[in-house]
């Protein structure tokens, strides 16, 4: 194989390079400075600069529909949008981390190193069209994350979560890789662009290939927490420091779903009705398990974790739609739009929790929000907006996300799936209302842990404004994403 | 000021309350908040009266329409318009608003600012759902109205307010989500009639001919019909979907009950009139018997349950179930008496039940008790209050010369035309209605002095004051409307006559022209 690297390759891969270089800056400075940690504010600024430049480069060169490194990475509309969502949510997670009481500032530069490398892994994962490269991206993203999960100093749950996540995640990766080997054995290629032409026929003829696809799907189902592969989600979401949970629920989920979308877009599912049926039942199971389990939670992080599982179920409907439709640009847009919606809502909701937590061992419960609306009317209003949006009520963004997603499902004839999604939204309303009840209708004196959490405050309020304003005028954004995806 | 057909008065009516809510939320002075809100609601009323003045009642066409593209990709537009069906409901909403604000002057003492903000947002959402002519826009306003109501009951309500408000929210939301799915499904059908483009405009929905096979439940029209009908039936509320209503009514603060009974329930019946019957004419006719039967059950069941209520607010809440049964009955008999009477009864119920809730709120402020058995002989202590209460009661039980008579009489005539049996059951409800209302009046105002009146005689601290000037000002418009609408019904009905006739004559291929 003749490998040549040209200027185009460098320009397109530049966001990843930038992220890697910026991740080294705080770490190197620390080493040169006799292992004394510089001020966290400086580190934060460096990290945000790195993410900002990477985002800028991605906007400039990302959506040009070019492949680089001999067809390893594809920079198309999906790369650009999913990459942007991942980068922005990662930035938000880092901002929260900077102001969260559980953050060990003595190791802040190490955490930033891990976070930026995780984002670099995400960009590779999103843009990879070769399944081996997908695996590299997946591992780079996940390995950094396992360490970040364990970051908390005193909280034992954090260590437990990290071990759980690591062990289960590794098994999932192994299953994924095993599936890739089957696919290679059957078709002699691991390139999704080439698979696209043969996948639908091969899956009917070749059982080996079918198993390969099933294993790959299971690997992804684990990453995006589709039931019954979701069991790690509540424990890890609860155990990880809240800003890391926000990072996980948004950036990691977006990147994993984007890569999953590429598999679905090979139209491999069209060859096997049985597989489609199973996937539909998984979607139903995921939504139901997520929402029903969330009903009985009192710890808000766990509630949001199960709600995250349920949202994966909704997005999974869109993914199945993409797999089934001949012209998938609309359905794919609906998925990306929902990922964006979910990322903003989650950043906001976890941001509020992160601001209320007083220490590492402090878990915010539903009742623990009592009286928050009196102490912090603006933040309580923001939290209400996030919860209403998650519940899918108009006129905010979450409603329109669901409208587009279920609209795509209905137009592909998946009416029962859409119906199930909608019925699930009713269950969900109950647990999304509980924090609102607590904040507004119960006496108490819950407050933020510190009145000087300026960065988090700004971010939460900006997310809320985004949810409302973009919610009301979601048409242009949808059209913009659709244009770049088709 | 002359308002041409191209003006944007409807947008003004919808969004003015939102602007008011914004101003109120940034208003620095606590003391002048109520005056400010009252002033705003009067401005809003004045604007809506301008609409009434310039409305052309000689046509069934949609008037004052405005249409802007909202989400182009899916043919969703900001499309509003008013016709004879929605006009009076808009006016009802704007008329009740100042009355509610004045009525809550004393009873709401905590978080006054938040309360008025919620009230104005609610008003905006309700007006929006009456005026929206685009399915998604309608759905947005429809759901938006839940949120402020949820807070009004949940924050300023009674002891079991949280249970009541969550129940209210989930019930209504569960119904409306099925409607959302139906809307999405119908949007997918519109390319047949628009020539390729997807559309959410109600006028395009009207053009759809959705397949219907009598007797087969799983045909598109029947399924869509029920998806919409259940959403609206929960809101009305139609028996047996009514169980959220007594809870919400009893726990809500007085203005919350007024707006709930006065306007929000009408969103459901309006939905039948605007959406269900014209969109699904075959299914509506085919299943009319079901809704008539449920309406009749609601009339009698609501009345029977009301009879045994010890709590006056709960009694009025169940009487709502009974009265709304009449409205459904009138709609589904599908003749000009029934439908005209229904539309009229919607207004009547808003005024008379709203009035009763206000009066009960006033007495509750004084005694902190709504138990009928504790009262008795109140007429001697509060003569003015007694007069007002009896007038509103007369309206509620449809005594001639009051508005209630006109509406119920027309509905009964419509029911008679439909079937003799149906009218017998409906008339029974009228008698039962008189029984429980008059029983309540007798036990509160007459007879031997009860616990509360006795206490007030002995104890100067518990002395019962008769109605204050403010309270009279609250009730006076209601009483005037009761008699005006009872004596000159044509002044109101003329506005809706064309629209009702148009609907009945063109039920099969209903369409609305835009003027």
pLDDT 10s digits, B425-467: 989 988 998 999 999 998 888 888 888 878 877 777 777 788 8
Task: Give the count of alpha carbons within 13 A of A83, CB side only.
Answer: 35
Taking an 8 Å cut-off on Cβ atoms, the answer to whether B177 and A406 are in contact is: no
Taking an 8 Å cut-off on Cβ atoms, the answer to whether A440 and B74 are in contact is: no
User: CA A41 to CA A35: how far, in whole Å?
Assistant: 17
Which residues partner with B62 through β-bridges?
B514
ipTM for this model: 0.90
Cβ neighbourhood burial of A273 (10 Å; 0-12, 13-18, 19+): exposed
Tokens of A354: 């992160």
Average pLDDT in the A292-319 region?
93
Contacts of B187 (CB under 8 A, 6+ apart): A407, B74, B75, B135, B198, B199, B200
Q: Name the residue facing B170 among A407, A419, A426 (closest C-beta).
A: A426
| A2 is a domain residue | no
| A444 is a domain residue | yes
- The angle that helices B312-333 and B244-251 make with each other, rounded to 10 degrees, is 140
What are the start-end ranges of the E strands in B304-440? Answer: none
pLDDT at A392 over 80: yes
pLDDT at A31 over 80: yes
Q: Name the residue facing A475 among B70, B144, B166 (closest C-beta).
A: B70
**Which residues of A fall within a CB distance of 8 Å from B147?**
388, 393
pLDDT of residue B5: 46
pLDDT at A170 over 60: yes
Domain limits at A212?
Answer: 7-485
Q: How confident is the model at residue A3 (pLDDT cuts 50, 70, 90)?
A: low
Peptide bond into B471 cis (omega under 30): no
Same domain? For B333 and B451 the reply is yes
Selected residue with higher pLDDT from A223 and A271: A223
Same domain? For B176 and B305 the reply is no
Taking an 8 Å cut-off on Cβ atoms, the answer to whether B151 and A482 are in contact is: no
pLDDT of residue A55: 94
CA A344 distance to own-chain centroid: 10
- The angle that helices A415-441 and A397-411 make with each other, rounded to 10 degrees, is 170
**Which residues of B fall within a CB distance of 8 Å from A425?**
173, 177
Residue showing tokens 């320009």: A11
Whether the CB of A394 is below 8 Å from some CB of chain B: the reply is yes
Taking an 8 Å cut-off on Cβ atoms, the answer to whether A440 and B151 are in contact is: yes
Under 8 Å between Cβ of B24 and B33: yes
pLDDT of residue A107: 84
Taking an 8 Å cut-off on Cβ atoms, the answer to whether B155 and A399 are in contact is: no
Contacts of B247 (CB under 8 A, 6+ apart): B160, B163, B164, B167, B168
| B48 is a domain residue | yes
In Å, how far is B448's CA from the nearest CA of chain A?
41
| B46 is a domain residue | yes
Instruction: Give the Cβ contact number of residue B488 at 10 Å.
Output: 11
Under 8 Å between Cβ of A407 and A482: no
User: CA A267 to CA B492: how far, in whole Å?
Assistant: 61
| B188 is a domain residue | yes
Tokens of A344: 């903003």
At B64, is the secondary structure helix, strand, or coil? strand
| B255 is a domain residue | no
Same domain? For B477 and B347 the reply is yes
| pLDDT by 10s per residue, chain B, length 515 | 444 445 788 999 999 999 999 898 888 888 888 888 889 999 999 999 998 888 888 888 888 888 888 888 888 999 999 998 899 999 999 999 999 988 888 888 788 888 899 999 999 999 999 999 999 999 999 999 999 999 899 888 888 888 888 889 888 888 888 899 999 989 988 888 888 888 888 988 888 888 888 878 888 899 999 999 999 999 988 988 889 998 888 888 888 899 998 899 999 999 999 999 999 998 998 999 999 999 999 999 999 999 999 999 999 999 999 999 999 999 999 888 999 999 999 999 999 999 999 999 988 888 888 888 888 888 888 889 899 999 999 999 888 888 989 999 999 999 999 888 888 998 998 899 899 999 999 888 888 888 887 887 777 777 778 888 888 888 999 999 999 999 998 888 888 888 999 988 888 888 888 87
pLDDT of residue B4: 46
Instruction: Give the Cβ contact number of residue A14 at 10 Å.
Output: 18
Same domain? For B320 and B419 the reply is yes
Average pLDDT in the A332-348 region?
94
| B242 is a domain residue | no
Same domain? For B185 and B332 the reply is no
Whether the CB of A437 is below 8 Å from some CB of chain B: the reply is yes
Among the candidates B211, B237, B270, a domain finishes at B211
Average pLDDT in the A243-251 region?
92
pLDDT at A253 over 70: yes
Phi, psi of B199, rounded to the nearest 5 degrees: -150, 150
Closest CA to A312 of A404, A390, A397: A390
Average pLDDT in the A3-7 region?
74
For chains A and B, CB pairs below 8 A equal 80
Whether the CB of A281 is below 8 Å from some CB of chain B: the reply is no
Domain limits at B150?
Answer: 1-211
Q: Name the residue facing A441 among B139, B162, B184 (closest C-beta).
A: B162
Give the total number of structural domains in chain A. 1
Give the total number of structural domains in chain B. 2
Same domain? For B172 and B296 the reply is no
| B271 is a domain residue | no
Q: What is the pLDDT of residues B93-145, one digit of tens each?
A: 999 999 998 888 888 878 888 889 999 999 999 999 999 999 999 999 999 99
**Which residues of B fall within a CB distance of 8 Å from A429?**
169-170, 173
Whether the CB of A415 is below 8 Å from some CB of chain B: the reply is yes
pLDDT of residue A11: 85
Taking an 8 Å cut-off on Cβ atoms, the answer to whether A406 and B146 are in contact is: no
Among the candidates B211, B236, B267, a domain finishes at B211
In Å, how far is A61's CA from the nearest CA of chain B?
27
User: CA A41 to CA A373: how far, in whole Å?
Assistant: 30
Same domain? For B303 and B204 the reply is no
| A1 is a domain residue | no
User: Which chain B residue is nearest to residue A470, measuring alpha carbons?
Assistant: B71
Taking an 8 Å cut-off on Cβ atoms, the answer to whether A475 and B71 are in contact is: yes
| A364 is a domain residue | yes
In Å, how far is A217's CA from the nearest CA of chain B?
29
Whether the CB of A465 is below 8 Å from some CB of chain B: the reply is no
pLDDT of residue A2: 58
Taking an 8 Å cut-off on Cβ atoms, the answer to whether B144 and A395 are in contact is: yes
Contacts of A276 (CB under 8 A, 6+ apart): A269, A270, A320, A323, A324
| B347 is a domain residue | yes
Phi, psi of A228, rounded to the nearest 5 degrees: -90, 25
Mean pLDDT of chain A: 89
Whether the CB of A142 is below 8 Å from some CB of chain B: the reply is no
User: CA B38 to CA B58: how far, in whole Å?
Assistant: 34
Interface of B with A (CB under 8 A): 69-74, 76, 136, 139-140, 143-144, 146-147, 150-151, 154-155, 161-162, 165-166, 169-170, 173-174, 177-178, 180-181, 184-185, 187-188
Whether the CB of A406 is below 8 Å from some CB of chain B: the reply is yes
């Amino acid at each position: 194989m003749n490998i040549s690297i040209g200027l185009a390759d460098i320009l397109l891969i530049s966001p990843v390079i930038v992220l890697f270089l910026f991740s080294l800056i705080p770490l190197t400075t620390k080493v040169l400075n006799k292992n004394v940690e510089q001020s966290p504010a400086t580190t934060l600024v460096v990290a945000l600069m790195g993410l900002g430049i990477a985002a800028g480069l991605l906007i400039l060169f990302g959506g040009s529909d070019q492949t680089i490194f001999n067809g390893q990475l594809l920079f198309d509309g999906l790369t650009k949008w999913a990459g942007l969502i991942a980068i922005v949510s990662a930035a938000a997670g880092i901002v929260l981390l900077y102001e969260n009481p559980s953050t060990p500032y003595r190791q802040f530069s190490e955490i930033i190193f891990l976070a930026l490398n995780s984002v670099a892994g995400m960009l590779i994962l999103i843009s990879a069209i070769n399944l081996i490269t997908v695996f590299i991206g997946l591992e780079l993203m996940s390995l950094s994350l396992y360490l970040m999960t364990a970051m908390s100093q005193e909280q034992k749950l954090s260590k437990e979560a990290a071990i759980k996540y690591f062990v289960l995640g590794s098994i999932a990766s192994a299953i994924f890789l095993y599936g890739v080997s089957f696919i290679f054995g059957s078709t002699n290629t691991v390139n999704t662009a080439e698979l696209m032409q043969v996948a639908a026929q091969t899956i009917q003829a070749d059982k080996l290939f079918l198993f390969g696809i099933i294993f790959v799907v299971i690997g992804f189902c684990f990453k995006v927490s589709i039931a019954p592969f979701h069991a790690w989600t509540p424990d890890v979401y609860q155990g990880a420091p809240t800003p890391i949970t926000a990072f996980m629920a948004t950036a990691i989920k977006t990147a994993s779903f984007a890569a999953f979308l590429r598999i679905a877009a090979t139209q491999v599912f069209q060859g096997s009705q049985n597989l489609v049926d199973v996937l539909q039942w998984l979607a139903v199971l995921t939504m139901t398990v997520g929402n029903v389990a969330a009903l009985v939670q009192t710890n808000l992080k766990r509630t949001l974790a199960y709600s995250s599982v349920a949202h994966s179920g909704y997005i999974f409907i869109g993914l199945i739609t993409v797999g089934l439709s001949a012209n998938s640009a609309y359905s794919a847009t609906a998925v990306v739009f929902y990922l964006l919606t979910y990322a903003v809502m989650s950043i906001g909701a976890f941001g509020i929790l992160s601001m209320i937590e007083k220490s590492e061992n402090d878990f915010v419960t539903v009742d623990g929000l009592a009286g928050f609306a009196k102490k912090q009317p603006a933040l309580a209003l923001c939290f209400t907006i996030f919860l209403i949006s998650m519940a899918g009520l108009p006129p905010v963004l979450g409603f329109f996300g669901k409208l587009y997603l279920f609209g795509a499902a209905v137009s592909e004839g998946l009416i029962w799936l859409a119906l199930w999604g909608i019925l699930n939204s009713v269950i969900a309303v109950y647990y999304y209302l509980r924090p609102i009840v607590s904040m507004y209708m119960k006496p108490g004196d819950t407050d933020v842990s510190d009145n000087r959490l300026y960065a988090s405050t700004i971010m939460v309020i900006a997310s809320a404004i985004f949810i409302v304003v973009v919610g009301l005028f979601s048409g242009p954004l949808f059209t913009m994403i659709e244009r770049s995806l088709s | 000021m002359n308002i041409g057909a191209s003006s944007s008065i409807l947008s003004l009516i919808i969004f003015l309350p939102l602007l008011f809510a914004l101003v109120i939320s940034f208003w620095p002075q606590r003391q002048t908040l109520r005056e400010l809100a009252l002033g705003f609601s009067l401005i809003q009323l004045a604007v809506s009266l301008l609409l009434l003045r310039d409305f052309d009642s000689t046509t069934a066409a949609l008037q004052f329409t405005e249409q802007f593209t909202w989400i182009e990709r899916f043919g969703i537009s900001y499309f509003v318009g008013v016709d004879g069906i929605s006009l009076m409901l808009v006016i009802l909403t704007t008329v009740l608003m100042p009355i509610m604000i004045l009525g809550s002057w004393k009873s709401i003492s905590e978080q006054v600012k938040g309360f008025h903000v919620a009230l104005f947002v609610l008003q905006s959402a309700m007006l929006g759902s009456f005026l929206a002519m685009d399915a998604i826009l309608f759905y947005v306003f429809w759901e938006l109205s839940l949120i402020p109501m949820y807070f009004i009951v949940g924050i300023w309500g009674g002891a079991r307010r949280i249970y009541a408000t969550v129940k209210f929210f989930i019930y209504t939301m569960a119904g409306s989500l099925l409607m959302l799915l139906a809307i999405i499904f119908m949007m997918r059908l519109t390319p047949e009639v628009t020539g390729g483009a997807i559309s959410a405009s109600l006028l395009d929905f009207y053009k759809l001919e959705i397949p219907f096979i009598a007797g087969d439940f799983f045909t598109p029209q029947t399924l869509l019909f029920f998806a919409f009908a259940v959403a609206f039936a929960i809101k009305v509320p139609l028996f047996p979907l009514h169980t959220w209503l007594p809870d919400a009514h009893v726990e809500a603060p007085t203005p919350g009950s007024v707006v709930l009974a006065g306007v929000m329930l009408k969103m459901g019946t309006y939905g039948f009139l605007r959406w269900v019957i014209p969109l699904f004419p075959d299914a509506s006719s085919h299943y009319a018997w079901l809704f008539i039967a449920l309406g009749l059950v609601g009339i009698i069941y609501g009345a029977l349950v009301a009879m045994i209520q010890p709590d006056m607010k709960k009694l009025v809440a169940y009487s709502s179930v009974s009265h709304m049964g009449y409205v459904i009955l009138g709609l589904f008999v599908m003749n000009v008496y029934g439908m005209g009477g229904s539309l009229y009864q919607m207004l009547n119920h808003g005024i008379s039940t709203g009035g009763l809730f206000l009066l009960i709120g006033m007495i509750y402020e004084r005694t902190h008790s709504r138990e009928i058995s504790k009262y008795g002989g109140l007429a001697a202590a509060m003569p003015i209050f007694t007069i007002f209460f009896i007038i509103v009661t007369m309206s509620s039980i449809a005594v001639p010369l009051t508005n209630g008579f006109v509406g119920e009489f027309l509905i009964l005539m419509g029911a008679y035309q439909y079937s003799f049996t149906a009218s017998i059951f409906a008339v029974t409800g009228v008698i039962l209605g008189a029984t429980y209302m008059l029983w309540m009046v007798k036990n509160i105002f007459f007879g031997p002095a009860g616990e509360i009146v006795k206490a007030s005689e002995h104890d100067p601290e518990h002395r019962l004051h008769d109605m204050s000037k403010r309270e009279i000002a609250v009730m006076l418009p209601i009483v005037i409307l009761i008699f005006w609408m009872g004596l000159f019904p044509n002044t109101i009905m003329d506005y809706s006559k064309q629209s009702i006739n148009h609907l009945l004559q063109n039920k099969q291929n209903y369409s609305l022209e835009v003027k």
